[in-house]
Chain A
Amino acid sequence: MMSSSILTYCFSNLKWLFIISAILFTGILFAQDNSTTPKENKTVSSSALPANVNTAVREEIQRYMGYEVLPARYLSLPYDSTMNTNVGGNFIDITFLLLMLIPVFFLLGYRENPIGSLIFMVICSTLFIISLANTSIYTFKKDGALQEMATSQELKEYAQATDLFDAPSTVMLVQIKRLANWCYTPFDYVFNSFSGDRDFITYPILLLLFIGGFFIIESRTKQHSIERRALFLFIYFYSFLWLLLTAGIIWYGYLMIALGIPVCIYPLTQLTSKTSPFQKGLFWATSGILVLWLAMMVSYRFSNYIYKSPNTKEQLFDTATIQYQTGEYSKQDLLNHFFPNFDAARQLINKEDTSLVYRVGTVLPFFIKKNDRRVLIDNQLGLFNQLLNRYQKKYELTMVFRESGFRYILYDLRTASIDQTPEKTLTQKNKSFLQFLYQNEYLELIGTNRKIRLPDGREDYEVFGNEIIDYGTFAIYRIK
C-alpha cells in the first residue's frame, strides 16, 4: 500500500520532474565550474571575499543572516530568525510559536497520507540539522560569564563536565547539538565541495525546494476551500521571497508573521473537538505553552522591555518620561536625561546651518538643523577607510575633512558592536578610526556621555582614559 502511494505520488507529479531536473542540472553543471576548494571556503578571510562585496552591507545587513556556508545561510534562516542566533535583541524576536506550531499542525493533517507525512518529517529534520549544526549554544558559567559552545570538542567537554540535574535543559540541548553536528557531516562535505562563501548551487537548490514545498502544500491543503489554499500559497511565496532576498531582516517579512499567527491558532480550534488522547494532550500542551509565553511577554512588557538586573524590573516606565508628560520636565530636560552632555555641542553645531557634519552611527543628527544637507553618513566607516588608505597622517586626514567643509564629527562609541563578520572588518576599521581620534591635536572633544576614571582617580566625561566607568554611546568632536 505504501509503495503504491509512493508510485502514485511520483507519477502524478511526473510533469514537474522536467522542471526540477532542468534546474538541478543547471546547478550541478555550473557547480563543477566552481574552482575554489572546500578548504579555502571553510574559513572566510577578508582576502577570500570577492572584490565586489560591499563590506558595509555585509557588516550591517547580512549579520542577520549569518556568515556560514552559503546554502546553510539560507536554509537555517527560519531557525535563525526564530532563535535570534546571529543577532540578538527584542527588536527582531518573533517568538517560537510559528516555527513550533506550523509544522506540527501541518503534520497532523496528514493522517491519510503517510508518504507525505514522512517526506515532510525528513525535510523538517534536515533543515533542523543544518540549522542547529551552524549555530552555537550559550550558557552561563558559575562565575556569571557567558560560555559559547559550537565545536564538537567544546560540546563534549561541557557534556562530560556537567551533570544532567545541574543544568537539564542545557545538557539536553548540548546532546542534541552534538547529534546534529554528527548528522551534519555529509552536508558539510557536500556544501564545502560545491559551495563556500560563493557558489552556483544555492539558488537552484532554493528554487527546487520551493517547487517541492509548493506541491506538498498543494496536496496537504486539498480539503480546504479555495480561498484558504490560495492565501496559504500567497504566504508561502511571500515567505520564500523574504528568505531569498532580505538577508533575514525580520521587519521586511512582517506580513508572513501577521498571517502566520492565525494559521497557528486555526488547528488549535480543530483539536478541541477531537477525542484522541494524543490530540487532547497536544491541545493542552499547546495551550499551556501559549499561556506561559503570554505571561512572559506581559511581564516583559511591564518591565519596559528591559532586563539588566533584578532592580530594573520595577521600571514599568521611564520616570523622566512621565515627568515630561506631567509637565515637570521640559523637552530640554528629557534630552539631557537621555543624552547627557549633548546639549552644549548641539547648540554649537546649530549656531549656523552651513558647516558639514561627518557621522559614524549615532542618532544625534535628528537634533541638528538641516541635517539632510549637512550630515554625511558613514556608519560602517567605508569612506573613512578609503581616505585612510590615501592619507595616513593625522594632520593630513583631519584637514582633508576640513577642506571639504566638515567641522564636526559625530561618532557612535558602539560602532563595532554590530560586527558579526568572520573577518571582523568593521572592528578593524573602527580601531583605525579610534587611532585617528586618539590624541589628535586638530580635533576638540565637545561632548560625550562616556565616563572614565582619570589617573588621579577623578571621574570625567572623556573618550580615552585609564578605566571606563560608563561606556557611553556618543562622542562629538569639532575639527579645529
Chain B
Amino acid sequence: MLDRIYKYSVAAFILFWMLFLFIDYWQRHPMYANTLMNTTHWGLYLLLGGIGGGIGYVVFRLPQFRKYIRGITLFIFCLLVLVICAQYHLLTSAPSGMGSKQILVLFGLLIYTSFSTFLTIVVSYNIGDLLLRRLNLSLKKLNKILINIAIGIIGLVGVLFILGLFKLLYWFTVLPIFLIAIALDWRSAWAFCKQTLFTPLKISKKLNWVGLGSFLLFVLIINLNFFQSNVPFPRGFDSLSLYLNLPSLIHDYHGLVNGYQPYNWSIFMSLGFVLFQKIEVAMSLSFLGGVLSAIAIYKLSRDWLKLNTNYSLLSACLFYLIPSIGVQSFLELKVDLALLYILLCVVILLLHWIKLEVKKEEDQLISYRWGIDPYIALMGLLTGFAFGIKLTTLFTFFGILATIWYLIKGKIGFLALFCLSIFAILLIGIDRQSGLREYHLGASYVQWLMLLIGTGLAVWLIVKHPKEAIRGIRLSVIYGIFFILPFIPWLGKNYVESGGQLSVTTLLNGKSNAPSGSINTFVRNWNNSPLNNQ
C-alpha cells in the first residue's frame, strides 16, 4: 500500500513539475512560440530538409558514397547552403537576389575568414603537439586534438604576450612565428590538415536519424552563426565595449594595452587584426570557442556518460541552440565560449586522470618523471590560462581541488576542501566583486568557522590517513603551481604598470590609462581653473 502511495506521489510530482515548468517557460518567452507559429520559412525548411534527407539517404543507404563525406566537402557544402539561405532571404525581403559577382565576393570573404581561422587552429595544434609529445598522454584522438589546440593557444598567446610587451605586434613579426610553428614539424601539421579536411569522416554504425539530424542541424546553425559574424563590427554591448575593443587597441598600439583584467583571449583574437588585417577574423576567433566547446561536449558525453553517438550529437546540438549560447556565437562575440572551451578541456583531462587513478588502485605501476603527474600539471596550466581570460575561473579551480580530494579520501576530503575553499573565497573577498558581501553581516564569522572546520577535517585526514593526505597535498600543490604559472606574466605586467604596487586590485587590473574618474580630480581641476575664479 505504502509502496503504491509512494509511486503515485512520485508520478504526480514529476507530472506537475514538468507540466508547470514547460507552461511557465512558454508563458514567459512568447517570442519563441510566436516565431514558430508565424514562420514563413517553410519553403527554405523544405529545401534544407530535402538536402538533409538526401544526405541521410547517402549515409544510410549508399555506403559506397560515404567516402566523399570529408571536412573539405562539408565546407563546400556549407558555403552552398549559405548561398541558398542568403539568396532566399534576398529574394523574399530585398528588391533582388545576388548575382554571380556578388556570390564570388561573398565566397572570397567567407573563404578568407575560414582559411585564416583554420590556419590559426593548425598552428595552435602544432604548437600543442610539439609541447605535449613527450608526455605520452593516453588520450583518445579527438580529445588529443582538443587538448593540443588548447595548449597550443597557450603557447601562442605566450609568444604574442612577449611581443606585445615590447610593442612588436606586427604582421611581419607574427607571420614568422606561424611559419616556424608549422616548419618545426610540418608532417604533424599536414597530418592534422589531412585528418580534418581530406580523410573521410568516420561514421558510427549506430548512427541513426536522431544523430544525423542533430549533426546536420548543428552544422547548419554553426554555418549561420559564422556567416553572421562576418561583419565589420559586432553588435553586442560587451564585445564593442571590451572584448573586441581590446584586440583592436592591441593592433593600434602594436602592443599590450595598459589596465584591464587579464585578457588572454583578446590577445589571441588580436591575431585577426595584426596578422590577417581583418576584424572578421578576430570575430571568427571568438566564434571558434563555441564550436570547440560543442565538440568537447560531444566528446565528454561519449567518454563521461557513455552516451552513444546519437545522443552525444544531440547534446552538442542542444547546447549550441540555447539562445544565450547563440547570442554569444554571432551577436555578442565575447570570450565566454572560449573560456568554456578551455574549461571543458580541463574537465576532459580530469576525467582521464580519474580513470587512471582508478586503474592505479588496481595496478600501482604508473610513475611520472620528477613525480609530477602530467594530467594534473596540464589541468593547472589550462586553468591558469583560463584565469587569465576571466577571473571566475576560480570556481573551476576550487572545484578541481575538491574533486581531487574526493578521489583521494572520499566525502571527508571533499568537505575539507569545500570548507577551506569557502574560507579562501571569503578571505579574498570574491563576493565583493558582485557587491554581495555588503548584505552578509556575518560573512567574517562564517569565514573563520569554515577555516576551523576545514582545518579540523584536514588534520583528521592527516592523522588518520597520512599517506593519502600527503599525496593529496602534493597533487594540490602541483596543480596550484601550474595554475599560477600562466598567470605570472600578467602579475608582472600589472606590477610594473602600477609602479610597484602590491595590492590585489592592482595586481589583477594593472593601471589603466583611462582618464581619472575620481571626484577629487575634477574638484581640483575646477578649483585651479581660471573660469572658476572669474
Contact = CB atoms under 8 A, between A and B. Distances in A.
B395 interface: yes
Nearest to A386: B519
Given A231-B304, A314-B92, A261 B245 contact: no
A199 B228 contact: no
Contacts of B110: 325
B311 A268 contact: yes
Interface stretch (B114-122, B187-195, B349-357): B349-357
Interface stretch (A88-96, A157-165, A423-431, A455-463): A88-96
A383 B514 CA distance: 15
B319 A316 contact: no
B453 to A, nearest CB: 6
Contact of B105 (A138, A278, A325, A372): A325
A378 interface: yes
Given A289-B22, A334-B231, A383 B307 contact: no
B18 A285 contact: yes
A145 interface: no
Interface in B309-328: 311-312, 314-315, 317-319, 321-328
B130 to A, nearest CB: 28
A99 B13 CA distance: 14
A373 B253 CA distance: 12
Interface stretch (B148-156, B167-175, B336-344, B469-477): B336-344
Given A325-B230, A365-B245, A399 B35 contact: no
A301 B13 contact: no
Nearest to A81: B324
A246 B392 contact: yes
B68 interface: no
B38 interface: yes
Contact of B297 (A92, A104, A244, A261): A261
Contacts of A7: none
Given A258-B319, A266-B307, A62 B40 contact: no
A438 interface: no
A266 B305 contact: yes
Contacts of A238: 395-396, 399
A258 B326 contact: no
Interface stretch (B72-80, B429-437, B483-491): B429-437
A266 to B, nearest CB: 5
Contacts of A386: 519
A292 to B, nearest CB: 9
A211 B415 contact: yes
B240 A366 contact: yes
A298 B445 CA distance: 50
Nearest to B414: A233
A298 B529 contact: no
Contacts of A62: 434-436
A316 B305 CA distance: 36
B398 A96 contact: no
B24 A173 contact: yes
B233 interface: yes
B446 A207 contact: yes
Contacts of B93: 314-316, 319
Nearest to A98: B322
A50 interface: yes
B249 interface: yes
A32 B397 CA distance: 35
Contacts of A204: 442, 446
Contacts of B109: 325
Contact of B106 (A249, A316, A326, A363): A326
Contacts of A371: 245, 249
A151 interface: no
A183 B512 CA distance: 52
Contacts of A203: 440, 442-443, 446
Interface stretch (A53-61, A344-352, A444-452, A464-472): A53-61
A199 B440 CA distance: 5
Interface in A201-242: 201-204, 207, 210-211, 214-215, 218, 226-228, 230-231, 233-234, 237-238, 241-242
Given A93-B322, A301-B221, A313 B406 contact: no
Nearest to A242: B395
Nearest to A267: B305
Nearest to A227: B354
Interface stretch (B54-62, B82-90, B139-147, B176-184): B82-90
Given A230-B406, A294-B217, A372 B249 contact: yes
A257 B92 CA distance: 37
Interface string A172-203: 11001000000000000000000001111111
A434 interface: no
Given A259-B300, A305-B331, A117 B10 contact: yes
A321 interface: yes
A164 to B, nearest CB: 14
Contacts of A401: 522
A107 B7 CA distance: 11
- Most A Cβ at <10 Å: residue of B258, B403, B434, B440: B434
B519 A390 contact: yes
B324 A250 contact: yes
Contact of A107 (B13, B322, B517): B13
Contacts of B232: 324, 331, 334-335
- Most A Cβ at <10 Å: residue of B228, B230, B328: B228
A298 B321 contact: yes
A237 B230 contact: no
B525 interface: yes
Contact of B323 (A91, A107, A304): A91
Given A104-B18, A245-B436, A282-B14, A399 B531 contact: yes
B47 interface: no
B120 to A, nearest CB: 21
A167 to B, nearest CB: 10
27 contacts: A2-B2, A96-B25, A114-B6, A198-B438, A199-B441, A200-B445, A203-B446, A210-B418, A230-B354, A233-B414, A234-B402, A237-B398, A237-B402, A261-B318, A262-B307, A265-B311, A269-B308, A289-B22, A295-B36, A313-B40, A316-B93, A325-B109, A373-B515, A376-B517, A378-B517, A390-B519, A404-B522
Given A110-B10, A303-B35, 8 more contacts: A23-B449, A54-B438, A91-B332, A214-B415, A247-B436, A305-B326, A338-B235, A374-B515
Q: Which 10 A-B pairs have the closest CB atoms?
A: A57-B435, A363-B240, A326-B102, A307-B31, A200-B442, A327-B105, A96-B25, A90-B323, A262-B301, A403-B529
